[in-house]
Amino acid sequence: MAFFEPDKFFMRISHIDIERDLLSLGLKHALLDIDNTILTRDTRELPRDVAVWLGRARDAGITFCLVSNSTQEQTMQELSERLDIPVVLRSMKPLPQGYLRGMRILGGTKEDTVMIGDQMATDIVGAHLVGMKAYMVAPLVGVDLPHTVILRWMERVMLGDQTPEPLTPATQQMLDEA
């Protein structure tokens, strides 16, 4: 497994096919990055397709834990309560502790848990350090913190010609109905 290579790459979290990309691969738990993966960084909104996807995945038996490096702990705590999804604050990604805590909360293992996030240097590398799968998504909005801009440039270089997974008919239908 290449450290800097996500196991799969998607345009948005809602493009992950719950059957093809999770259940059929034995993945039952997902650790979720927050900023720009499920919440827009600029307006702090949960896009409708993301909310619908989270609901569908939960209906299918997937459990979630938010794993955040954010310093806005109040906001993250409120989000956790609103979504009814536990949160690991001050996770210090890419260090392993946050991933391990999230896995423990969910009762998962590194074989049946996947990290989903938009940043190579934190979300993806950290998951691979722990030995779990990592799915990368394109950031929801193009507004990033200054230090992230440099990391984005590195990501483009490292992702190379890796292209997003195509939408499956089932996922397309879910999005059309959302």
Interface ranges with Mg ion (CB under 5 A) = 33, 35-36, 118
Cβ count near 113 (within 10 Å)? 23
Min CB(117)–Mg ion separation in Å: 6
Shorter beta-carbon distance to Mg ion: residue 36 or 91: 36
Q: Which residue has its beta carbon closest to Mg ion?
A: 35
Min CB(19)–Mg ion separation in Å: 25
Shorter beta-carbon distance to Mg ion: residue 17 or 33: 33
Copy the structure tokens of residue 21: 């990309």
CA distance 100 to 129: 11
Min CB(86)–Mg ion separation in Å: 18
Question: Residue 88, class by beta-carbon neighbours within 10 Å (0-12 exposed, 13-18 middle, 19+ buried)?
Answer: buried
Shorter beta-carbon distance to Mg ion: residue 17 or 118: 118
Shorter beta-carbon distance to Mg ion: residue 21 or 35: 35
CA distance 98 to 104: 10
Min CB(157)–Mg ion separation in Å: 19
Give one DSSP letter per residue of 95-148, joined into a string.
Answer: SHHHHHHHHHHHT--TTTEEEEES-IIIIIHHHHHHT-EEEEE--SSS---HHH
